[in-house]
Structures are given as C-alpha cells and as structure tokens.
Amino acid sequence: MWIDRLCVSMELRKLFSFALTSITAGLAAAFVVLILQPGLLNDTQQTPSPLPPAITQPPQISQQPSSLPDPVAPNGPVSYSAAVKKAAPSVVNIFTTKLITEPRNPIFDDPAFRSFFNDQRAAKPRQRRENSLGSGVIMDSRGYILTNNHVIEGASEIQLFLHDGRNIPAAVVGTDPDTDLAVLFAHTENLPAIKLANAEQIEVGDVALAIGNPFGVGQTVTMGIISATGRNRLGINTFEDFIQTDAAINPGNSGGALINAHGHLLGINTVIFSKTGGSQGIGFAIPASLAQGIMQQLLVHGRVVRGWLGIMAQDMTPELAESFGLPQVEGILISGVLERGPADLAGIVPGDIITQINDTKSSDARDILNTIAMQPPGSIVTISGWRGQHRLKLKALIAERPPKPRR
C-alpha cells in the first residue's frame, strides 16, 4: 500500500514542477518582450475608432432618366433646337453674280499691233462672271431682307435660297456703306419674318447662336456667348456699335442672324477678326435695333439721313494739350474745314479745339462724329471749345451728310 502512495506522490511532484517551470518561462518571455518592445503595452490601451453611422434605409437607385434639370446648371437647356427651328426659316442664303471687266493689255493700244491684228483683239475688253455668297435675314413678311452691303456690293444678279428650298431673285432697295448694311426685296409674300430681341435685355454671357451659309456648305448653326457689347474704334465701318461673340462666324456667314436662346434676333453677323480667314472666336454683329433703324430710313428715304459739319479732326494728346497750353487733355483738334461747309459758315477754323456739342462732351474724334451724325439736318447745335487761350462758343447749322463715294 505504501508503495502505491509513494508513486502517487512522485507523480504530483512532477506535475507541480512542470507547471512551475512553464509559468517561470512565460514570465521570462514576457519580461524580454516588454524590454525590447515597450510600445506594445500602449498600443493595447488605445481607444477603438468610432463606427460609421448606421444606414437605416438602403439608397434608392432609379432606373429611369430624371425629368429634373441638371442641378449643376439649372438655367441652361440641353438643346437649342426650338430656338433654331423658330429662327432658321427666316435666314436665307444669298448667291450673287458680278460682271468683272478685266483691264486690257497696254500692248493693244500700240497702233502697229492693232493694225497687224485689224483691231480685232482690241475691239472690246474682256468680261468674266464672279460668284460670291453670303446670308440674309427676313425682316418683313412682304419680302424685305437685311444683309451686309459687302455681300451684294456691285452685284448684277442676286438669288435667294430659302429654307423651304425655293430659289427666288432679289433686288437692292438701298445700301448704307457707313454701317455695311443693305436692304433687299424679294417679290413674294408670306415670308417667315424673324422676331427681334429686346435690346435692353442683352447682356454679356448670354447664349448666342449664329445662323448662316459658311463656305457655301448650306445653312449652319454655331453656338457661343455674347462676349461684349458696344464695340467700336475697330476701323471696320464709319459708324460702329458691334456685338462681339465667340460663336463661329466664317466667310458666307456675313449678313446672317445672331439669335438668342429664344430664337429672337440679336444682330446681323458682319465680320470676324482673323489672321487665317477662319473663325478664331472673335466675331462682330450689328445690333438688331441699329439695323432696323437703318432699314426704316432706307425704305422711307432711300438713304440714311445723318448730320454733318464738314470738318476733319484728330484726337487730342498730352503733347498737343501742352503745346496749346490747355489745363487738361480733352476735346478734339480741328485739322481741316471744308470750304463753304456748315463748320466754315459757322466760323470754325483749323486749329480750333472742340470740347462739347450741345450738352455732350467729346472724348475723341469718333465720339464727335457720332454726336454730329445723330443730329437731324436743319437743326442748330452749340459748339464749345478753345481757340488758343480763349474760350470758344458758337452755333452751327447741321447739314445732311453726303453719301460715301463708291469704290
């Protein structure tokens, strides 16, 4: 019996010794880890990151296209087709034919040469036909159409191609080279006349669409915005008040329509600024309000009636102001006066400086020209300025501006 007890006691002693050895080894290992990696103790004590808020409902993904406007651009339509459909029938393609007389070779004036050929080669100068293209806008359903003067200038034949496919001839009613506008008449009725936009509501940044016949490819629409208004001093026309746009305007667009997003006429496309002859994002259109006024005068008077004084002027510079002893740079210097013209009869002489006409102060020669042109012939204006060191004030009778000589 005692032998059995002895065996049990030895077994318990072995188990206790094994457990004690394991615990000691574990503590030693932990001590070594803490000595070598002390940061592990801190990492285990960090606060856990908060969880994202619980989603109470799953997102609803629509399988149908939304009928709501784009929230990024709520004011911009995705298509301007309605505006184009409204305005395009009022824009016509214009094809013109000019008879060009070619200069005769001077050798045909030699008597010996003429006698040798019995005057047959020198009988008549040669003529050839030259075709060009452009665009126009139907302003009146009775057949009155606006275009640029340079589109139809010198044309012996004018043909209009309408949006519905018709081809009809047209005749020139009147032209105004000073603004590069012309009025045509087509002997037909019930033409789709365009509607004019409100000139007071035109703003920079408005959408603009140009409709015309660029390069003769057929009616084309390009889009941009109004880049500026009231552009002048460009040296394009005598009287300038352009709408600038970046809608592409190319050769053949001249005389076409610049419309807004509602299909209403903003202006008559006229010219581009380009080094290559193609569009570079700078185009100019004559405002519809100005074009309509020119058209009415051409229909009523057969010409545009403007005021005229008969003077030549140049802008005042700091150097000129100093040489004349003026306290500030203002007004224009009269460099020439037409004999027996309105200014001459009023007593204006070269060297006078004009600073004001009636209540309008002048900043440069173009402003003076526009101010005088707006005065009706027969009206009397008060001219203020300087003659040397003395104040100048006199009255002049406005005459009608003579027509621009043909080139």
Where in the sequence numbering do the catalytic residues fall? Answer: 150, 180, 254
CA-CA distance, 105 to 127, in Å (whole number)?
A: 13
Alpha carbon of 377 to those of 302, 307, 325, 381: distances in Å? Answer: 16, 5, 34, 11
| DSSP letter assigned to residue 196 | B
Rg (CA), the chain: 42
What is d(CA 196, CA 204) in angstroms, rounded to the nearest whole number? 18
Contact between 395 and 383 (Cβ < 8 Å) = yes
Closest C-alpha among 219, 396, 407 to residue 308: 396
SS3 category, 34: helix
Rounded to whole angstroms, the Cα distance separating 94 from 158 reads: 7
Strand-pair partners of 308: 399
* Residue entry with tokens 């707006």: 374
Beta bridge partners of 181: 176
Indicate the SS3 state at residue 36: helix
H helix intervals, 107-158: 111-116, 149-152
Which helix (H) or strand (E) covers residue 2, if one does? helix 2-36
Q: How far, in Å, CA of 291 to CA of 307, rounded?
A: 18
Give the Å distances, CA to CA, from 242 to 226, 285, 355. 11, 5, 26
Burial (CB count within 10 angstroms: exposed 0-12, middle 13-18, buried 19+), residue 143: buried
